[in-house]
Each structure stands twice: as structure tokens, then as C-alpha cells.
Structure 1
Amino acid sequence: MTAAPEIAAAPGLEQVLAGCVVLITADRRSAELSAALERRGATIRHAPAMRIVPHEKDAELAAVTRALIADPPAIVVATTGIGFRAWIEAADTAGVADELHAVLEQARIIARGPKARGAIQAAGLTADWVAESETSAEILDLLLTEGVAGQRIAIQLHGAGADNLDVELAAAGADVQTLTVYRWGPPVDPQAVQDTVRATAAGEVDAVVFTSAPGAYAWFEAVDREGVTDQVLARFADASLVAAAVGPVTARPLLERGVDPVMPERSRLGALVRALVSHYEHDRTTELMTVAGRLQVRSRAAMLDGHVLRLSPTGLEVLRVLAGRAGDVVSRQELLDALPGCSLDPHAVEVAVARLREAAGQQGPQARQLVQTVVKRGYRLAVQPA
């Protein structure tokens, strides 16, 4: 049996996520997100549930942009940062960037959240109002309350459409023009999505990170297609699997499934990483206390008193079963049934326990007492009394 590979520490950063396998479901900025989590010790699996597809009819987007320049809107709604930036870039390619900028300077610009506001500011413009909830519903409520009859409104659509914002405003008497800058498409690697969904259901993933609502919906659709919905939801429910969402809009598909995600106060990738790290920092303070220190068993490794134990898959599974009993005795037969493979030799349990003790003993003499033998009954984890 081969010991698990040693997890290298990033200089200056505590390896809070050591042993954690984190699944990233996002396409855009996934490398940045992966690097930030890896610096905290996480092992990354990457399988975007969908991808961003640029608008295929650039001529149509240019034509709509020119129409807005010729007949300027009173209100412009920016729904996403990436979409607004892409619109400005498309106008530049079409040679009408200056004209569009002049039109936007005269319009009332409404941003659907901080990301859209950031893109507006990057273009040298100012958002007149920001929907802090990042929902189209908040924008709709504002505009309908103020009244939009007879006003020309331009809406930059996000990948999933306009959430009926265009329909509702048109019904209220507005002259609505929509701009499709990008849309969501199928994943680049459907097999990777399928494999990681099954791995998540099987307990091989500790956390799943979501950065968009369409991506979250697509991931759960993949879960449903693979027939592992009950297993995945059960893991979320017992906290063996953690969901992390970048903001309230992204969290909505999870909440609809009864999953309560880790979520930062500000919808930023950096804040999302900090929120997930903070969750595991807190998790470590509430884990099982043993005679050798605090123990946390994760999908790929175990942490004992802040150190990663070098365990084979067999040793890790033995420790997982013992930790699940929290100090109660586990019979040799139960441990044998839990071992990877299909061994029927009771001696395999003795070997696995011996190697587990050896690995734990590298953390100090006290750690050698982590697993205790109960004569004629089995083994137990040496936990500290409450």
C-alpha cells in the first residue's frame, strides 16, 4: 500500500484546507480561484458545469448598439460585469466606442450588483443606482415604483436572459431594447462533470464552489441525470459536504434544494475563498478531541493536532470509521467490511491498524495511543472526555 502524497505547505499561509478536495464548477476565473484555494492546502478538481459562449451574431450586437446611439436610452441596465465589459469591447471593435460612451454618460445607469458597478467604473462611467441584492427583481421594483411609461430603456442581458425584466418593463409602457452579449452553453467536458458528480456522491469531494446561479442549476441537473441526488443532498445535510456560493443570487439554486451554503458578505472571489477558509477554521475547533489533539477526517487526508497524517487509503478509511463512532468500540469485522477492496482476511485489519498507529505516532508519543485495542471486541478511538 502506498502512503498518500505529502501535501506541500505554501509559505506564510496556514494549511487550513489541507486534505480537502474542492470541486470548482466555474469556467471563468477558475485558475485564480484554484490558485487561492491551493495556497491554503486544498486539492482542486475542476469541472465547469457550463461555459460562457460569446454572442455569435456580432453584426447584430453592433447594429443594436448603433441604434441606441442614434436613439439614446434614458436608462441603461447593466446586469453583469463581464457582459458590460464585453459590450464596451464590442463597440470598440465596431468603431463606435466613443459614441457609445457619450450616450452612456447622458443616461441613467443602473447596475445589478457590485460586479456590474465595477465594470461601469472601469469604463470611466458612474452607476447612478446599484441593486445590492444583485437581483433583477430589485431593479424592477425601483423602476415600476418610479414609473417608466414612455421611457427608452436598454438592458444588457446576462447569460440566462433578463429574468422577465424586459417583459415587465415593456408591459408598464417602456420602450425596451435588449442586448445579448453572451449566453450560457453546455460544458466543454461533459465527462468531467459526470465523473466529479459521481465522485461527490461517493464522498471523494469535501466542498463544491459555485460562482453563478446558472452554473449551480446546471450542476444540480447533472446530479439528477446521474441519479445521485439523494446521496449528494444527504452529504450536504450531514455536513460531510460543504457548498460555497459567491453571493445570494448564486446561492438561490442551492437554497431551493435545501442546501445552506457558505457565503461571503461581499460577492467577490477573494471573499468567497476567505469564507470557505473561515468555515474550516471554525470546523477544526469543533471536531473530535482525542488524546493526541483535535482530529478531522477529510476525503483525502486526516488532520491531527494541525498536522496532516500520512495515511494509505486503507488507513484513512479505518480512521474514518473509528472517528465516526467517537470513542465507541468498532468490531474487527466492521473494520474489515469497510476496508477498500474485498479482503476476507481478518489479519488485514490488524495490519491497517498497526500502520495507522505508526503514522499517528510520527506526531509524538501521545499520538501512538490514538487507536486502542479492546480485547476480544475490537478497536476504539482514544477520545478525550467532554
Structure 2
Amino acid sequence: MTALLEETAVTATQVGPLAGYTVGVTAARRADELGALLERRGAEVLHGPAIRIVPLADDSELLAATTGLLDGPVDVVVATTGIGFRGWMEAAEGWGLGPALRAALTGAAVLARGPKAKGAVRAAGLVEAFSPESEANAEVLAHLLDQGVDGKRIAVQLHGEPLPDFTDTLRRAGAEVVEIPVYRWTAPADPAPLERLIEAVLSGQVDALTFTSAPAAASTLDTADRMGKLDALVDALRTRVLVVAVGAITAGPLARHEIPAVWPDRARIGALVRHLSDTIPTRATRVTVAGRELELRGQAVLVDGDLRPVAPAPMALLRALSATPGRVLSRATLAGVLRRHSGRESTVDEHAVETAVGRLRAALAVPGVVQTVVKRGYRLAVPTP
């Protein structure tokens, strides 16, 4: 018995903050890194890349923008991302335009949105004139407007999609803006993984969905629309699924559909994972049943700190029973829960409820948690007033 208790205690201490949760990853770039960080904290990861990155050296749009920029003087250059600015320099070298581009930018005021962009600017042999503590495009824009931009030629390095609020404001203030599409996003070559991820969200198998770029968020919504399931996806993301973005810009396409999202203070993958790890446990249901502490996570239950995986149908019943602990729910009521969970109206009966309750009891492996009330239904074994 002592050995068993010691083994259980060790198991409990090893349960990560994301254990029992399934997290969807829509990222293309650095998806493996993000997935590894999530799995290290106990999550089950489903990956459906929502975008594909066009290789820089093969991007005719970037080449055309670069040669067009070199046709005249450059007064200001805005570096929005480190990987984008560095990629721009490397692509220019490949085209034989590296020396000319560096010379043009040397005479310009270089503004770096954040530390990574600043590092890329310095790696190119340039020195930034301004970099905001907030790492926000809005503060870069405010700085430019304060300095005055009328008559100036400004190169704005994009980060995967247009920045109309930023560039249009500069144009209205009198600037000539040259947009530099340093890396371009397109739809994934194989949409099937993303479609499967969307289906998993709709079937209740995903507890949190992560986005590391605004194009990925937009592409996910566009794909759901093409599947004829946009309304269902938006409803799931508004009500059941925790949506986590790497930053406010990434969350933009979601906000346009009134989908609530959370994001960390710093737009970093590691910070995203930490923010998710801190946030999702606050959504768990906790209840004391038959002297045991139960914490209902996405796809599992912690019983006195020990993780017990629970299949979707039994978990749906447990959530219904936990909504009003101690209250008896009839078999007919619980059959309705299973019907809503499965989406099947005619094949769920009271026998299916008995089967699901049996599976729930087996998964929890704790006698007496779910009580049968003769001729009435089932309840959680909590004291009633």
C-alpha cells in the first residue's frame, strides 16, 4: 500500500499544467518548436498548418519592390520583424542587390519595431534610429508622425500581410510609402490537415487553438467558410475553445468576427505557451465528490492530482453532472446531453446513457463518485443541503 501511495504521489507531481488538454497549432513556421513546448507541459497537440510561406529568393513581388525602392532615395525604413528584415537582406544578396540596398538604407533613418528587428538591423551593419519599448507598430507610427513625414519616401517591411492602417496613415500625412512584402503567405499546399483540425474543434476535441500570425488566423476562418462551417467554428471559438494569439496584431482577423482571444505581454512563442499554461487551468471545473478532489480538464480529470483520461461522451456527462453537483439528472436529460455532444438525434437512448456512465466510472476508477438514484437517474456524490 505504501509503495502504491508513493507511486501515485510521483504521478501527481509530474502532471503538467496542460495535461489533459488538446491544443491546436495552426503555425507553419516554428510549428515544431511550439508543439514541443506545449507537449513538454503535458498537452496533446493537433497540427494543421493554415498557411505556406513563399521562399524569399523566389518571390517576384519582393524583387520588384526592392528594385523599385532603389530607383530613388530612401528617407526612412521601418523593420517590423527580425526574420523578415534578415530575409530581405539575404534575398537581396542572392539577387546581387545587397551592396546597393545596404547603401540606400545607410542613409535612411531605420526604425525597428522590437528587439528582434533591432538585432537584424544591426546584423546588417545598420544602426536603428528608434525602437519602441512597447514593440507596437502604433508607437512606431506615432513617432514618425511626430517627426513629420510630408514629402518623405518611407519603406515599410511587411510581416506577411498588408498594414493598411499604418501605410494609409503615412500616405495621408504626405509620405510616399514603398511596401516591402518580405515574406508572403499563401494557402497551404495540402489543406487536409487544417480541415481535420477544424473538424476536431467542431467535435469538441480541441480545448485551445493557437495562432502565431494574422494570416494564419485569416486562413483558418477562410478555410472554415469554404467548408461551409464558418458559423459553427466562430460559435465554438466564442464559447468553448480558448483562443490564444501571439499578439494583438495576430488576433486582428479574429476580432473582426468578435472571437475573444488572449495573448501575452510579449509577442514570443515561449510567452504564448506560458500564457496558455496560466490561463486554461482557470477554466477548469473543480468539485469535491465522495471525499475526492476532481478537476475537470479538457479531455481528462485530475482525481486528487492524478490524471485520468476520459473519453468525450463520458466527459460530456460528467460536465453536465458537475454543473449542479449533487442534483439528480434523469436518464432522458443525460441522453439529450449525449445527443448534443454527438450530433445524433435518433441513435442515443437511455441504454447509451448507462453505457457512458459505466465508462465514466471505469475511467475515474474511484467507487461512489457517480451515484445511481433508483428510478430517477444519476448524481455526483456530494452532500446536499
Residue 76 of structure 1 corresponds to 77
SS at match of 1:358: helix
Residue 5 of structure 1 corresponds to none
Residue 301 of structure 2 corresponds to 302
Change (3 A) 1:18 1:385: farther
Partner amino acid, structure 2, of 1:278: D
Of 129-138 and 188-197, the range deviating more from structure 2: 129-138
TM-superposed CA distance for 1:34, in Å, is 0.5
Root mean square deviation of aligned Cα: 3.3
Unmatched 5+ residue regions in structure 1? 1-8, 362-366
Find the aligned partners of 1:170 and 1:199 in 2 and give their Cα distance.
Answer: 44
TM-superposed CA distance for 1:35, in Å, is 0.6
Change (3 A) 1:151 1:358: closer
SS at match of 1:275: helix
Q: Does 1:256 align with 2:256?
A: yes
Partner amino acid, structure 2, of 1:35: A
Residue 49 of structure 2 corresponds to 48
Q: Does 1:270 align with 2:253?
A: no
Q: Is the 8 A contact 2:25 2:31 kept in 1?
A: yes
Q: Does 1:154 align with 2:155?
A: yes
TM-superposed CA distance for 1:66, in Å, is 6.2
Change (3 A) 1:385 1:37: farther
Q: Is the 8 A contact 2:70 2:104 kept in 1?
A: yes
Q: Does 1:356 align with 2:356?
A: no
Q: Does 1:179 align with 2:180?
A: yes
Change (3 A) 1:12 1:98: farther
1:71-117 residue CA offsets vs partner (Å, 9 max, x unmatched): 55231111233221111111232345455445444432112344433
Alignment of 1:133-212 (within 5 A): 136-163=137-164, 165-212=166-213
Q: Is the 8 A contact 1:77 1:155 kept in 2?
A: yes
Partner amino acid, structure 2, of 1:73: V
Partner amino acid, structure 1, of 2:328: V
Find the aligned partners of 2:147 and 2:384 in 1 and give their Cα distance.
Answer: 63
1:118-154 residue CA offsets vs partner (Å, 9 max, x unmatched): 4334445443223556554443333233212333322
Change (3 A) 1:319 1:248: same
Change (3 A) 1:333 1:171: closer
Q: Is the 8 A contact 2:156 2:179 kept in 1?
A: yes
Partner amino acid, structure 2, of 1:382: A
Q: Is the 8 A contact 2:326 2:384 kept in 1?
A: no
Q: Is the 8 A contact 1:156 1:178 kept in 2?
A: yes
1:173-231 residue CA offsets vs partner (Å, 9 max, x unmatched): 43443333222211222232223223212212111101112221222233333343444
Residue 331 of structure 2 corresponds to 332
Find the aligned partners of 2:371 and 2:186 in 1 and give their Cα distance.
Answer: 54
Residue 214 of structure 1 corresponds to 215
Partner amino acid, structure 2, of 1:194: E
SS at match of 1:158: coil
Find the aligned partners of 1:297 and 1:19 in 2 and give their Cα distance.
Answer: 6
Q: Is the 8 A contact 1:10 1:41 kept in 2?
A: no
Residue 280 of structure 2 corresponds to 280
1:321-360 residue CA offsets vs partner (Å, 9 max, x unmatched): 3234433212223334527687667555444434432332
Partner amino acid, structure 2, of 1:180: P
Q: Is the 8 A contact 2:20 2:300 kept in 1?
A: yes
Change (3 A) 1:174 1:316: closer
TM-superposed CA distance for 1:39, in Å, is 0.9
The alignment of Structure 1 onto Structure 2 pairs a total of residues equal to 370
Give the TM-score taking structure 2 as reference length: 0.82
Change (3 A) 1:91 1:56: closer
Partner amino acid, structure 1, of 2:189: V
SS at match of 1:249: coil
Q: Is the 8 A contact 2:23 2:46 kept in 1?
A: yes
Partner amino acid, structure 1, of 2:293: G
Find the aligned partners of 2:13 and 2:105 in 1 and give their Cα distance.
Answer: 45
Residue 318 of structure 1 corresponds to 317
Change (3 A) 1:343 1:96: closer
Change (3 A) 1:358 1:127: same
Partner amino acid, structure 1, of 2:89: I
Find the aligned partners of 1:65 and 1:233 in 2 and give their Cα distance.
Answer: 39
Residue 375 of structure 1 corresponds to 374
Q: Does 1:91 align with 2:92?
A: yes
Change (3 A) 1:349 1:66: closer
Partner amino acid, structure 1, of 2:76: I
TM-superposed CA distance for 1:251, in Å, is 1.9
Of 245-254 and 9-18, the range deviating more from structure 2: 9-18
Q: Is the 8 A contact 2:12 2:305 kept in 1?
A: no
How many percent identity over aligned positions? 44
Give the TM-score taking structure 1 as reference length: 0.82
Find the aligned partners of 2:94 and 2:146 in 1 and give their Cα distance.
Answer: 37
